[in-house]
Structure 1
Amino acid sequence: MKEIQPTELADKLKQGEKLHIIDVREDDEVATGMIPGAKHIRLGEIPERIDELDKDEHYYIVCRSGGRSGRATEYLEANGINATNMNGGMLAWEDEIEVPGK
């Protein structure tokens, strides 16, 4: 499974790279803040929403600490989606966040 450090992902965002980030946390966790531009798809919804993902794109998967996103990354890779897990999850994210709906 491919992994990326939060600082590396933050650097890519700062450099203006067009990234596809998926946050697999639950609604109450996401309400505290997400990585700017991330798309929210709860872990349990990944199988039914996999059609929303483009097999030609690369996705960075994020959760609270890295465990759920690791499972999501493995599932996506097994289904032909290019995915990378963000190590440490949002607990390790030290950069900008956006609060949905604000």
Structure 2
Amino acid sequence: MGPRRDGRAKPDLTAPGAMIVSALSRDSRRARHWMIDQNHVAMQGTSMACPFATGVVALLLSKDKTLDSGKVLTQLKYATRNGQNPPADTWGRGLIDLAK
């Protein structure tokens, strides 16, 4: 959650991270109540939001290999739901909307 200690607006945007179902490692010792079946687990937090955002960036780069980090961030900021300008302290510009 923002803002940063210096008062600058953060986060830039947010990604889905609540109750994301993912593949379960065979070596996992995850608690049974989080398991969907023997191969899948539901998790939440930044460990789920980061892979989502990374996947979106990979899709953007697959369409335009000339994108740099600044252009990617600009595209992500405009591809949000409930977009805020200026950014809100909690959600930034909004939640990444892959359909946009």
TM-score > 0.5, shorter chain as reference: no
Normalised to the residue count of structure 1, the TM-score between the two structures is 0.27
| Between structures 1 and 2, the one with greater helix share | 1
Q: Bigger radius of gyration, 1 or 2? A: 2
Normalised to the residue count of structure 2, the TM-score between the two structures is 0.27
